[in-house]
Structure 1
Amino acid sequence: MNSKYNIIIIGGGAAGFFTAINIVEKNPNLKVAILERGKSVLEKVRISGGGRCNVTHACFVPNDLVKFYPRGERELKGPFNQFCSGDTIDWFEKHGVELKIEEDGRMFPVSNSSQTIIDCFQEAVKKLKIDVLTNHSVQELYKTETHWKVTTTQEIFTCEKIVMASGSNPKMWDLLQNLGHSIVEPVPSLFTFNIKDPRIKDLMGLSAVASVKVKKSKLEASGPLLITHWGMSGPGILRLSAWGARELADKKYQFAIQVNWLNETTFEEALDLLKTIKEENAKKLVSKYAHFELPKRLWENLVKAAGISDELKWADVNKKQLNTLVEQLTNAEFQVNGKSTFKEEFVTAGGIDLKEVNFKTMESKILPNLYFAGEILNIDAITGGFNFQNAWTGGFIVANSISEAN
């Protein structure tokens, strides 16, 4: 069986749906199909943001927004000038979905449910008569002079243009590589650090704003650090994992980090502050009262690691112990031994080499009438709605380019 379409979109995720909807809204006469290899669509949208769907981020200046992308920063400047976070808010509002901004800048549907976004997309494809075909795993892509041929597990399709929105799917990368595209080898991004250490043992759930450096590297980040039962997580660690995705993969996830639990406070500043604390609390037990707004149990563990016993009063702390405590507070070294995936929000660094894409149109420079949207490209961001914003922007530009070509 051979089915004919004007445009076939490979991938039934956020980027695929958004692209399809925008194409048909601009060109109602085009026949469009979305091919999805799984039995259901929009799965990543469903689980994103703990089931609430972190649609975008309240960062409205393209030059600021690009700074959240370890890969893609330079390339996304132009696209974000065409379609940015503010445009995303307008788009969803026009489609009946109101978004809200949370304290940290993340944006969610007011309903607090990712189902709202899924329903919005499903209603739109139905209204626009876009065919959504599940259980259609693409096996072959073939280009003739006039059209594309797409073979799936179920049938053969022909179309004029293809949009690849298949995310981090190695099989699709292989097919495109066979057609002449270069693939930047994928490595995980956004992961947490596995650390076994008595100083953080049994402190699961505690957090502190800290700065973290990878030893023997230029990598550093700061932000809330969360202690988990397997090690460390939280925005600071995730940021480090995103920017260090390649370097940390090269180290096979075995490396040392230096944590400053006091964030920007230097060794010297902390030492001065501790000397004052020592004078003012001479008769009090060192381990009993936490300072620097640190969680009490973390403070106790760091005091213990500095060789200060539970019974020791501030008056009896010697110079060496004081220095060791400052070291534990501002430059604590931890050994990282492996990584864990961050929730279900698996993000990959790697994909189609950005040099082979025209970012004015999102069209392949190698194969005419082939377009890209979303994570199939070597673009990824830290957590906070940025990966979705890349999907919306790419999809919008693809739709525009196709409209202009028609």
Structure 2
Amino acid sequence: MSPLNIIVIGGGAAGFFGAITAAETFPEATVTILEKNRTVLNKVRISGGGRCNVTHACFDNRLLVKHYPRGEKPLRSLFNAFDATATVRWFEQRGVGLKTEADGRMFPTTNTSDTIVDCLLTTARRLGIQIRTSCGVASLSRRQEGNWAVQLLTGETLKADRVLVATGGYPQLPAYGWLPEQDEPVVSPVPSLFTFNVPDSPLLPLAGVSVPDAKVYVVGTKQEQRGPLLLTHWGFSGPAILRLSAWAARELAEVDYRFTLRINWVPTLNENELRNTLQDFRQQNGRKQVITQNPFGLPSRLWQAFASEVGISDNQRWADLPAKQLNRLIERLTNCQFNVVGKSTFKDEFVTCGGISLTSLNQQTLESKAQPGLFFAGEVLDVDGITGGFNFQNAWTTGYIAGQHIGR
């Protein structure tokens, strides 16, 4: 009997992890990775500013799943098989140490993604995995014998007993058309993890200013997030915005990314507490200028912008601040509204909400119910996480599970 022939379509994080796991679990099998680009692991290489945010230091799986706007329920069982703890151990066993930063993100101790790329490439080559680049797949079809025909864009046709699709997400639904039909339709893809364009924002000149804690809302919905916020020359970015874009991905797509964004710049206080704080501050600092004395630790340029917007002059003292201007200042701090008219991709990262529905797959193996011998892993699935290493964790987990079962 000839050895099992396994083809992995996609040379990214999930594809490599699936191929490596398959080769280790089924050493008699022949494993081949097909990558449409000239180089492999491109997203691994550029992620985290070239450092590769491998995973997140969240080692309680009940909490880990809460970082996935899509896929929380199926990930509960998948993480039981391979979670963040397993990821750290896997890389450490292959000589790659990881370190945890203050926000929980985990990077290689070398501070370069090349360490992760080299580890995956070296491991794959040691296991005899064949890596073919510039090999785009045109179609995938089941042959009468029960195995698979993988037709390349070059016209060449490869035969495979088992296939793992780990191509990453596609921005448009027709791009999934080369895949065999599943039990459930492909979930229409829309972008996730993006920044907000606000071309008429009065805060555009403050690009680069960051606020460590703000609360952001999509007006007219229940979507809200809290965290660091970054002012940009096109609008807003930072963790709070990115998380909001992920959780509200479908709602924002439905309104063509035109909506009202509300920001509370002082989320630790309710309106009454804020008013009392300002009143006390005014009494204690009556002779000082409003524009130079701000009681909330906001960046000085942002505070000055708010003061200017409500008509406070440069030399106006706290003691001379009329109630009308105080009320307007409170409104700016707690209910600042902006008209968002578009989005921008966050750095070089592109994550899709949508893809292959997990209800089409065996939840324990990630094998297609309708197409035996066909497996899926990574972002091609309708699973996506917020920024911080969670999408790579999805890639490692699903790649590992598909690789563990693909030869059975």
Q: Structure 1 length as normaliser, TM-score?
A: 0.96
Shift of residue 172, structure 1, vs aligned partner: 5.6
Match in the other structure for 1:187: 190
Q: State the one-letter code of the partner of 1:245.
A: A
After the TM superposition, which residues 201-220 of structure 1 pair with which residues of structure 2 at under 5 Å, given as runs? 201-208=204-211, 209-220=213-224
Q: Which residue of 1 aligns with 2:153?
A: 153
Letter of the structure 2 residue corresponding to residue 125 of structure 1:
A
- Code of the residue aligned with 1:379 in structure 2: it is V
Residue 403 of structure 2 is matched in structure 1 by 399
* DSSP 3-state at the match of 1:166: coil
TM-score (structure 2 length as normaliser): 0.95
Offset of residue 256 of structure 1: 0.7
Cα RMSD between the aligned structures?
Answer: 1.6
Once residues 281 and 386 of structure 2 are traced to their aligned partners in structure 1, the CA distance between those partners, rounded to angstroms, is: 38
Contact 1:142 1:150 survives alignment (8 Å) = yes
Offset, 1:195: 1.3
One-letter code aligned to 2:210: S
Please say if residues 199 and 298 of structure 1, whose CA atoms lie closer than 8 Å, have aligned partners that are also in contact.
Answer: no
Q: Does the CA contact (< 8 Å) of 2:183 and 2:360 recur in 1?
A: no
Instruction: Tell me the distance in 2 between the aligned counterparts of 1:177 and 1:298.
Output: 53
Q: Which runs of 5+ in 2 are unaligned?
A: none
Question: Is 1:320 equivalent to 2:324 in the alignment?
Answer: yes
More moved, 142-151 vs 29-38: 142-151
Q: Do the aligned partners of 2:287 and 2:319 also contact (CA within 8 Å) in 1?
A: yes
Aligned to 2:380: 376
- Asked whether the 8 Å contact 1:207–1:227 carries over to 2, the reply is yes
Deviation at 1:176, TM superposition (A): 2.1
- Between the aligned partners of 1:143 and 1:220, the Cα distance in structure 2 is 45
Query: Compared with structure 1, are the counterparts of its residues 172 and 165 closer, same or farther at alpha carbon in structure 2 (3 Å cutoff)?
Result: farther
**Identity across the alignment (%):** 50
Report the secondary structure of 2:80's partner residue: helix
Measure the CA separation in 2 of the matches of 1:349 and 1:201.
29
Residue 62 of structure 1: aligned partner: 61
Change (3 A) 1:177 1:309: farther
Q: What's the offset of the Cα at 1:63?
A: 1.0
Are 1:77 and 2:76 matched, yes or no?
yes
Corresponding letter in the other structure for 2:73: R
Secondary structure of the 2:286 match is: coil
Alignment partners' CA distance in 2, 1:106 and 1:389: 11
In structure 2, give the amino acid aligned to 1:206: V
| CA deviation profile, 1:218-273 (whole Å, cap 9, x unmatched) | 11000000001111000000000000111001111111111010123211111010
**1:270-316 CA deviation, whole Å, 9 max, x = no partner?**
10100001101111111122320100010011111222222321111
User: Residue 327 of structure 1: SS of its match in structure 2?
Assistant: helix
SS at match of 1:76: helix
For 1:66, the aligned partner's letter is V
Aligned residue for 1:287, secondary structure, equals helix
User: CA shift at 1:390, angstroms?
Assistant: 0.3
Q: Is the 8 A contact 1:11 1:166 kept in 2?
A: yes
Corresponding residue of 2:237: 233
Note the C-alpha offset of 1:168: 1.3
Aligned counterpart, 1:137: 136
Q: Aligned equivalents of 1:14 and 1:334: distance in 2?
A: 38
Q: How does 1:37-116 map to 2 (within 5 A)?
A: 37-116=36-115
Alignment of 1:240-259 (within 5 A): 240-259=244-263
Alignment partner of 1:75: what SS? helix
